[in-house]
Structure 1
Amino acid sequence: MTLRVDDVRREEAALWVRHGAPPVMEHPHRHDDLELNLVHSGRLEYLFGGSTLRVDAGQVALFWGGTPHQLVDPDAVPSDVSWVHIPLTEVLSWALPAEQIAVLLRARPVVVPAAALARDVDALFATWHRDLLAGGDSTVVMLEAQAFVRRTLTTAEAPGAPGGAPDAADAAGAPGPSGAAARATAMAQFVAEHYRSPISPADVAQAVHLSPSHAMTLFKRVVGTTLGTYIARCRVAEAQRLLITTDATTVEVGHAAGFTSQSSFYDTFRQICGCAPGDYRRALR
């Protein structure tokens, strides 16, 4: 896989900032981060969860990377893009309104004009990139990123907003009170904090004081995926991170990511990523 981007990652900050031309993506991928795209010039075209998505120059896209997505024909138009990846665990710690969390976890991205965010977004992203590249304190960048995400979601929710977010009712699966979104958010938070342990959907249900069947039905309705699949995605995303950023063996990676056996690790990883863990590591090194 060929990447043609200026790629910066601050491990201790658990924050990614990238700037440059769109990368070549041979296959769809997933990651357990919130992703921000800012198109400075040109455009991005995605296959996103089975649908197409186009992000034009001057637009910001915001979505959860757990939905399979792939850039299509990045060389079609010369483009300059910034990406920011924020771990879902960090986002869930921000205590966003449950309805906004439900919007983020759905398979439909939020897309808004950068000009509607009432600030120089290009300069802001450039500052984040420069600060992390210089190895400075990432705390300020994370705080600014949180404010930016909040502003983006609020802007998308405004009546008549161009692009924007899914309806609150759509994000929750059906009209009704926000209790379902709040419960689903609590379940996602529990999984994000405990997926490295041998938890099951029943453990998640117990943590939010619901029966397993009720919890699984509610989570699927709000988030659009099953609890078991969500746990597996979190573990695979952690395994992907460890395969890329460490020299740990695949046995060590599987154990650290929360898998109870190597066969389970290999089967789940291949099902989600389309290749074995070792092949994934070799393709990105």
Structure 2
Amino acid sequence: MTPHFQGSLDPSNVVDDFELMTHGGGMYLQHHRPRAMNEPYHVHPSIEINYLQGCDMIYSFGGKTVRVPQGRFCIFWAAQPHRVTDVVGAGTITNAYVSLQEFWSWPVPQDFTQALLGGGVILAADHLPGDDILAGQWAREISPDTEAMSRLHCLELQARITRVALSGWDVIAQPQQLGGRSRIGGNAIVHFERMLRFVAQRYTDPISLADVAEAASVSKNYANTLFKKILGTTVKAHVTEIRVYRARMLLAETDAKILGIALDCGFRSLSAFYEAFQSLTNMTPAQFRRQLRGE
């Protein structure tokens, strides 16, 4: 397996307020000036690692605000809808997208993996003097690129994140319990990523377990088994969580009526929406909106 992969934002994958970033296996490295995103929330089935220099960045995870400071590695599993809402200062970001298959080959402790795949946004406890140098080196070597250099970058990133996992880290936000625990590989992770992409693209439609399984050419039982191993939940529950996640974003960032939000997020009735929303948030949609606005 080659560690480097090419990735792109495919306009055909933009669906309502989600944008699906599709990548291959391994790791994809970028360096640029960050900006607030006018584009929709996006999801991608990979580990995202950010390192900021000269600026802080404000993320929204389904309506929950998280500030990522400069000079400290930030790591999260990007299967949860997220986007950048603001950038404080003028600087650069070096970020990597690491496939689950690649990440699971890294020698990080179990508690780190559980926190990360459980939906936590992880921040390195310390800034090391060499971090700016390392990020700058990556930025200079991204282009032109070779397979050997790409492997070097992957090994350097693996070593740095392993040091974070061993020496100290903080969970700065727990947006949603995604619940991943088990390590898998081979065709299983390929099947899972295909199903995750299908759900991200079609969650507002009346999709079934059979539809999700068919997207990866697997059986319904296998699809559910795979979701339980990785996410700790069923396919149906995951679809519901994604719908509620988007509803939280719309409640937080728009004045849309609750019925319209329910239908827009794929719920067939207002009662089904209320039941799902209260089950996952312990409050009604109206209470959630009032709480965010301090009413």
- Which TM-score tier does this pair reach, normalised by the shorter chain? 0.5 to 0.7
C-alpha distance after superposition, 1:90-114 (max 9, x if no partner): 1123354433222111222101255
Are the equivalent residues in 2 in contact too, given 1:17–1:83 (CA < 8 A)? yes
3-state SS in 1 of match to 2:138 = helix
Are the equivalent residues in 1 in contact too, given 2:124–2:164 (CA < 8 A)? yes
Alignment of 1:96-111 (within 5 A): 96-111=108-123
Deviation at 1:150, TM superposition (A): 1.2
Deviation at 1:132, TM superposition (A): 2.9
C-alpha distance after superposition, 1:194-214 (max 9, x if no partner): 33542356215668xxxxxxx
Query: Are 2:28 and 1:16 aligned?
Result: yes
Query: Are 2:79 and 1:63 aligned?
Result: no
* 1:126 aligned partner, one-letter code: G
Query: Partner residue of 1:185?
Result: 182
Query: Partner residue of 1:132?
Result: 142
Are the equivalent residues in 1 in contact too, given 2:28–2:96 (CA < 8 A)? yes
Q: Would the alpha carbon gap of residues 166 and 46 (structure 1) be closer, same or farther in structure 2, given more than 3 Å must change?
A: closer
3-state SS in 1 of match to 2:83 = strand
Counterpart CA distance in 1 for 2:187 and 2:265 is 24
Alignment of 1:87-98 (within 5 A): 87-94=99-106, 96-98=108-110
- State percent identity of aligned pairs: 22
* 1:199 aligned partner, one-letter code: V
Query: Partner residue of 1:198?
Result: 217
* 1:120 aligned partner, one-letter code: G
Counterpart CA distance in 2 for 1:271 and 1:171 is 19
* 1:77 aligned partner, one-letter code: G
Deviation at 1:18, TM superposition (A): 1.9
Query: Are 2:153 and 1:141 aligned?
Result: yes
* 1:86 aligned partner, one-letter code: V
Query: Partner residue of 1:244?
Result: none
Deviation at 1:58, TM superposition (A): 1.9
Deviation at 1:10, TM superposition (A): 4.6
Counterpart CA distance in 1 for 2:33 and 2:178 is 35
Output the aligned Cα RMSD: 3.9
Q: Would the alpha carbon gap of residues 17 and 104 (structure 1) be closer, same or farther in structure 2, given more than 3 Å must change?
A: same
Deviation at 1:80, TM superposition (A): 2.2
C-alpha distance after superposition, 1:127-174 (max 9, x if no partner): 2233331213111111111111211222335xxxxx44789xx9897x
- Between Structure 1 and Structure 2, the one with more strand by share is 2
> If the length of structure 1 is used for normalisation, what is the TM-score?
0.56
3-state SS in 1 of match to 2:183 = helix
* 1:135 aligned partner, one-letter code: D
Structure 1 unaligned segments of length 5 or more: list them.
1-8, 158-162, 174-180, 208-214, 232-269, 273-285
Deviation at 1:83, TM superposition (A): 1.2
Deviation at 1:219, TM superposition (A): 5.7
C-alpha distance after superposition, 1:200-258 (max 9, x if no partner): 56215668xxxxxxx84x7655xxx6446769xxxxxxxxxxxxxxxxxxxxxxxxxxx
Identify the match of residue 38 of structure 1 among 51, 55, 59. Answer: 51
Q: Would the alpha carbon gap of residues 101 and 190 (structure 1) be closer, same or farther in structure 2, given more than 3 Å must change?
A: farther
Identify the match of residue 60 of structure 2 among 47, 53, 56. Answer: 47
Counterpart CA distance in 2 for 1:172 and 1:70 is 18
Deviation at 1:53, TM superposition (A): 0.5
Deviation at 1:82, TM superposition (A): 1.6
Are the equivalent residues in 2 in contact too, given 1:190–1:204 (CA < 8 A)? no
Structure 2 unaligned segments of length 5 or more: list them.
7-23, 195-215, 240-263, 267-295
Deviation at 1:35, TM superposition (A): 1.0
Are the equivalent residues in 2 in contact too, given 1:19–1:83 (CA < 8 A)? yes
